[in-house]
Structure 1
Amino acid sequence: MNSFWIILFHTYLNKLKTKSFIITTLLTVLIVLGLTNINQIIDFFDKGGKDKIAVLDETGQLYKPFKQQMSAINKDLELVHYKKNEQAAEKAVKNGDYTGAVQLRFDQDQLPEATFKAMTIADSTISTDLQTGLQQLKTMLAASKINLSQDQLQKLYKPVTFEKKALEKNAKTEEELNQARGLVYVLLFVIYFAVIMYANMIAMEVATEKSSRVMEILISSVSPIKQMFAKILGIGLLSLTQLAAFLIVGYFSFKHNLDSLKDGFFGVYGFGDVPTATIVYAVIFFILGYFLYATLAAFLGSLVSRIEDVQQMITPMTMLVVAGFMIAMFGLGKPDASFITVTSYIPFFTPMIMFLRVGMLTIPTWEAIVGIGLLLATIIVLAVFGARVYRGGVLMYGKSNSFKDIKKALQLTKNE
């Protein structure tokens, strides 16, 4: 058993000190810090001042009421009454004096219309705000033409009350669903990238040792089965170390910037008051998903002798992860669809899709337990089968990138 722990910690420490691991960790930490400080970053680049819009009022009547409407929509947009002609306004925009220019005029019904000109219309924020302001102004002028009072106008455009109530017992409210959707969305990405990255790492580790003939020395002193599970657990420990770094940095950065983030993505898809059960399920499905694909990757990696062949061999496994992720993304909008329910019981999709259902819906506990049970059973079957393939696969050299080599590996295991 001592050799098992030696390989486990050797794998862990060896990968922990690699430049690729350190650089990946640092880059991801920077991304996490960037996301949780996004408002400050945007403010830093926008500190040059407000966007200035030149307003050409051909009517002589629309500028003041239009500016009044815009002050309520976007306070960071500065409207300037531009009294020169259209050509001069275009030249001022090209020179960078203004972000854009808007021409106000009356249509044939004596209602306002406009043309907006800017160097590029790729950023739709400003043009959308200007259009909204003009639409409100048009509504006011149209109402005045048919003698509607301000109170009548407010009643006419008051948003309709539309409540959503679920009749199912213990069903989540809309607010809880929004919160769950945000958390599930983030954790699905974590599961997806972690499984792909760390499973690939295991396959590469095995193939690298075989290509350097280190495996011949190892199998003479340690059984291949011990090697396989020691590597899986070693890289699993590595993944938990890296994820812990991301979560700690993300948690404290998010907590520090909570006030500035509450009106954005994190406000709509809140992360406060997250149910403990959701966190527990996230951890369970992450760990089981890792072991499922890590076991698969280990014995697939044992079939190749060259590092160049690894990606080709594990491509089907990667496609399974991608398929599960894409189904889960679809399920964020329709988590109660029959297709989602059925695929949540397919072991290779269960880590993501069953977690999606647990997070988004109020499903019976037995359904989650069945999903976990199927995952555990599949992992055990893969571990037993994978150990036999691994045992023979590590003895195979030469060009080996076909799934027919699984049969050859099993024969080598029997002949030992």
Structure 2
Amino acid sequence: MREFWIIFKQSFMTKAKTKSFFITTLIMVAGIFLFANLPSIIDKAGKLIGDSKEDKVLVLDQSGMLAERLQQQLKQSDEEIKVELADEPKEQLLKQVKEEDIEAFIELDLDATQTIQATYTTASLVDNYLPSALQDALQSIQTEVKAEQLSLSGEQVATLFAPIQFEKQNISDSAKSEDELNQARVLVYVLMFVIYFAVIIYSSMIATEVATEKSSRVMEILISSVSPVKHMFAKVLGIGSLGIVQIVVYGLAGFIAYKLSSMGEENELSAFFSLENLQVSTLVYAVIFFLLGYFLYATLAALLGSLVSRTEDVQQMIMPMSLLVVAAFIIAATGLGNPELGYLKIASFIPFFTPLVMFLRVGMLDLPLWEPLLSIAIMVATIIMLGWFGAKVYRGGVLMYGPSRSLKDLKKAIQLGKE
């Protein structure tokens, strides 16, 4: 075991001491703090450059009554839009819009049936906020005008638009509440990205590390003193441990940034991201499926990395594995809205999809215990079989040199390993 721990330590410390690892970690931590404070930064930047000023819209009011009511309605809706009556005729306003002296203007009138006729004129429809706010306000005014026309009181109008009382009720004792579902959905979404990027980054790192040692002929010296199997699993565990440390650092940074930012205050957003009502079992499953997913793909990456002797060929060799990760992510993402879909149940028992899909189901549904346990057992069995097969390929693959860009080299590596 001494050789195993030497390679484990070497794999861990070599990557941990590199400038790229240190800089990447710092950038990610800084990005987490930036994201947590993004709303306040945008608000301050808007005030600094003047983007937070009140919008102004010129109005040609043919009815003589709509402009004032429009301003009152916008004020009631807390919209920062100022309505100003235009002194110029329509032709002059059109010229000013074309010359970009003003952004837009709106024409208002009432037809014979007391229906509001509005025309919004602008040089660009990229900004949808202003016309949408004006349309909503005018729609409310239209309701008031029609109510006055029908001699309806304000209470009668409110009665017409009163919302129905619709409540959701779970009769199962073990069913998740809506708050628990929302929080589980957030955790599942975050974990999906963590597993996705962890598998892509660290598996590629393992494959590249193996290919680098082969290209520099260091591999020949290593396997003369330690078995290829020990070397492979020491690499997987070493870089995996480094990845876990890095993810823990990101998690702590995210927690601190959340508590120090405005998102940590008591509001609807903080309540949505709160994990207070989340079941402990969900967090346990998160850790289990993350670790199993990593070791499954890391073992596969080490196997594929042993088949190439140039680092330039690594990405092409691990492309099939990357596509599996992408497929698992897409399948799981489609189930965020409805995790009870039939194909999700099937995919959750396919080892390469299990880490994401089964966690999606176990996090958002009340599954019988045998389902997650069966998927975990299948994954463990797959990792053992892949490790056994990978060891046979790795034993011969590390001795193969020359161009190697095809999975057909698996047979050649196995035969070489037997010799």
Using the size of structure 1 for normalisation, the TM-score is: 0.92
More off after superposition, 365-374 vs 346-355: 365-374
Identity of aligned residues (%): 49
Equivalent in the alignment of 1:239:
243
Q: Is the 8 A contact 2:180 2:278 kept in 1?
A: no
Q: Secondary structure at the match of 2:366?
A: coil
Distance 1:126 1:246, change over 3 A: farther
Equivalent in the alignment of 2:57:
54
Q: Which amino acid aligns with 1:352?
A: L
Q: Does residue 203 of the first structure (1) align with residue 202 of the second (2)? A: no
Equivalent in the alignment of 2:3:
3
Equivalent in the alignment of 2:117:
113
How big is each residue's C-alpha offset from its partner over 1:273-325, in whole Å with a ceiling of 9 and x where there is no partner? Answer: 33222111111111110000000000101001111211111111111111110
Equivalent in the alignment of 2:297:
293
Shift of 1:409: 0.9
Equivalent in the alignment of 1:372:
376
More off after superposition, 5-14 vs 395-404: 5-14
Equivalent in the alignment of 2:164:
160
More off after superposition, 378-387 vs 265-274: 265-274
Q: Is the 8 A contact 1:53 1:98 kept in 2?
A: no
Q: Which runs of 5+ in 2 are unaligned?
A: none
How big is each residue's C-alpha offset from its partner over 1:317-362, in whole Å with a ceiling of 9 and x where there is no partner? Answer: 1111111100001110110111111110111100000100111111
Q: Is the 8 A contact 2:57 2:81 kept in 1?
A: no
Q: Which amino acid aligns with 1:19?
A: K
Equivalent in the alignment of 2:400:
396
Shift of 1:78: 3.7
Instruction: State which of 131, 134, 138 in structure 2 corresponds to 1:130.
Output: 134
Shift of 1:267: 4.9
Equivalent in the alignment of 2:80:
76
Using the size of structure 2 for normalisation, the TM-score is: 0.92
Q: Secondary structure at the match of 1:46?
A: helix
Distance 1:302 1:60, change over 3 A: same
Equivalent in the alignment of 1:150:
154
Shift of 1:201: 0.9
How big is each residue's C-alpha offset from its partner over 1:220-269, in whole Å with a ceiling of 9 and x where there is no partner? Answer: 12221111111111111111122122111111111222557766765545
Q: Which amino acid aligns with 1:102?
A: I
Q: Secondary structure at the match of 2:318?
A: helix
Q: Secondary structure at the match of 1:363?
A: coil
Shift of 1:161: 1.8
- Looking at structure 1, the residues matched to 195 and 98 of structure 2 have their Cα atoms a distance apart, in angstroms, of 47
Q: Is the 8 A contact 2:114 2:145 kept in 1?
A: no
Question: RMSD of the alignment, in Å?
Answer: 2.3
Distance 1:139 1:212, change over 3 A: same
- Looking at structure 2, the residues matched to 181 and 101 of structure 1 have their Cα atoms a distance apart, in angstroms, of 44
- Looking at structure 2, the residues matched to 316 and 397 of structure 1 have their Cα atoms a distance apart, in angstroms, of 21
Q: Does residue 357 of the first structure (1) align with residue 361 of the second (2)? A: yes
Equivalent in the alignment of 1:220:
224
Q: Is the 8 A contact 2:264 2:270 kept in 1?
A: no
Q: Secondary structure at the match of 1:159?
A: coil
Q: Which amino acid aligns with 1:383?
A: G
Shift of 1:88: 5.0
More off after superposition, 308-317 vs 157-166: 157-166
Equivalent in the alignment of 1:33:
33
Distance 1:95 1:18, change over 3 A: farther
How big is each residue's C-alpha offset from its partner over 1:169-196, in whole Å with a ceiling of 9 and x where there is no partner? Answer: 4222223222221221121111111111
Shift of 1:10: 1.5
Shift of 1:134: 1.5
- Looking at structure 2, the residues matched to 281 and 329 of structure 1 have their Cα atoms a distance apart, in angstroms, of 18
Equivalent in the alignment of 1:255:
259
- Looking at structure 1, the residues matched to 275 and 106 of structure 2 have their Cα atoms a distance apart, in angstroms, of 41
- Looking at structure 2, the residues matched to 79 and 20 of structure 1 have their Cα atoms a distance apart, in angstroms, of 55
Q: Is the 8 A contact 1:171 1:362 kept in 2?
A: yes
Q: Is the 8 A contact 2:340 2:361 kept in 1?
A: yes
Aligned length: 415
- Looking at structure 1, the residues matched to 104 and 20 of structure 2 have their Cα atoms a distance apart, in angstroms, of 46
Q: Is the 8 A contact 1:207 1:301 kept in 2?
A: yes
Q: Is the 8 A contact 1:51 1:98 kept in 2?
A: no
Equivalent in the alignment of 2:12:
12
- Looking at structure 2, the residues matched to 87 and 334 of structure 1 have their Cα atoms a distance apart, in angstroms, of 54
How big is each residue's C-alpha offset from its partner over 1:105-134, in whole Å with a ceiling of 9 and x where there is no partner? Answer: 334532223233445433433332222112
